Amino acid sequence: MSSNLINRRVTLSSRPKGIPQAEHFSVDEIPVPDLVDGEILIENDYWSVDPAMRGWVNDLPNYLPPVEVGATMRSLAVGKVVASRHPDYRADEIVMGMFGWQRFTVCKGEDVDRKVTETDLPPSLALGIMGLNGVTAYFGLLDICDPQPGETVVVSTAAGAVGSAVGQLAKIRGCKTVGITSSEEKMALCREKFGYDQVINYREENVADAIKTVCPDGVNCYFDNTSGPISDAVMSNLAIGARITICGTASIADWDPLPQGPRVHRQLLVARARMQGLIVFDYKDRYDEAYVALAGWIRDGKLAYNEQVLDGAEAAPDAIAMLYRGENSGKLLIKVD
């Protein structure tokens, strides 16, 4: 059945340095190949847009090889199985995985990250709060920082898809939460939708002074998505035994050569603090634990989320740059056209 289908897709057309821009991508159409044994055909419903995609297209050491120029852009997507020659998959099942920015994905069963079984929740959540965003927040906060009741947890990109979940999980853990964000609108979202106790606008305030004021006993846990001046400001206010999760590097446009910043060594030493990088894929064996917990909190109304949906393939080339410009509100998705 698949041989007559046309696959509309977004390819990487040139190699960016730093943040990929619209000019680095092209939209084209190619035929969908026939399935062979062991393969499934997925019709994607939503594509994901994630900060990590910047690292996937740069030719620098990373946890995955860079996307080749000319290839379909790597991305997570959620879609429906429309044909299967794999014993474990049937038509109409909802699946999530690294299916790429393309309408149709032919893949082996192993390429499926998971079957989406929470049929009471919208499928798009599988790319956000019920996907890597939620799982990243879950393990990055609860496993690496392991916040204790009464501790102070600071979150950068506090209104973002990961940060907003981190702040809410910290509240569920009984912590005081401080969110750092970039606009009045996002501050309101942080307070009203995500329940932060304190919110700092890094474009309007001196973050180091603001942290000192709202965290008089220092910062016990810091979940960082920026790796730049905001992080530096938090690092100057660590409590003894602080734990820092490095989840993303949104405020650094280019890592080659390594940018300079204040040395963290003495801050870590004096506070006996721990700074640790998180790649959520390392937790694959424990994803189910997170999905069960996250779905429970969503159903109980304890875990709110925010999605922004762009329309179709033409919106994709600029979407990663849009994330880094801070223009999105919540998890950025593309509805496949």
Q: Is 258 in the site for a second copy (CB under 8 A)?
A: yes
As a whole number of angstroms, the distance between CA 262 and CA 242 comes to 18
Instruction: State the minimum distance, in angstroms, from the CB of residue 132 to a second copy.
Output: 15
Instruction: CB nearer to a second copy: give 93 or 143.
Output: 143
Instruction: State the minimum distance, in angstroms, from the CB of residue 189 to a second copy.
Output: 26
Q: Is 260 in the site for a second copy (CB under 8 A)?
A: yes
Instruction: State the minimum distance, in angstroms, from the CB of residue 207 to a second copy.
Output: 15
Alpha helices in 104-235, H assignment, sequence order? 132-137, 163-172, 184-192, 207-214, 229-235
With b for 16 or more beta-carbon neighbours within 10 A and e for fewer, the 300-317 pattern comes to eeebbbbbeebeebebbb
Instruction: CB nearer to a second copy: give 80 or 212.
Output: 212
- When binding is defined by CB under 8 A, the residue of 22, 121, 264, 322 that contacts a second copy is 264
As a whole number of angstroms, the distance between CA 230 and CA 246 comes to 12
- When binding is defined by CB under 8 A, the residue of 203, 274, 284, 302 that contacts a second copy is 274
Give the 3-state secondary structure of residue 152.
Answer: strand
Which of the ranges 26-34, 70-78, 177-185, 220-228 carries the binding residues for a second copy, by CB under 8 A? 220-228
How buried is 55 (Cβ within 10 angstroms: 0-12 exposed, 13-18 middle, 19+ buried)? middle
Instruction: State the minimum distance, in angstroms, from the CB of residue 275 to a second copy.
Output: 5
Which of the ranges 164-172, 191-199, 273-281, 308-316 carries the binding residues for a second copy, by CB under 8 A? 273-281
As a whole number of angstroms, the distance between CA 326 and CA 253 comes to 13
Sort residue 330 into left (φ over 0), alpha (ψ -120 to 50) or beta: left
Q: Is 213 in the site for a second copy (CB under 8 A)?
A: no
Q: In angstroms, what is the C-alpha Rg of the chain?
A: 20
Instruction: State the minimum distance, in angstroms, from the CB of residue 232 to a second copy.
Output: 8
Across-strand partners of 154? 178, 222
Q: Do the beta carbons of residue 142 and residue 173 sit within 8 Å?
A: yes
- When binding is defined by CB under 8 A, the residue of 3, 119, 269, 301 that contacts a second copy is 269
Instruction: State the minimum distance, in angstroms, from the CB of residue 213 to a second copy.
Output: 17
Instruction: CB nearer to a second copy: give 32 or 142.
Output: 142
Binding residues vs a second copy (CB under 8 A): 61-63, 224, 227-228, 231, 246-249, 252, 255, 258-279, 282
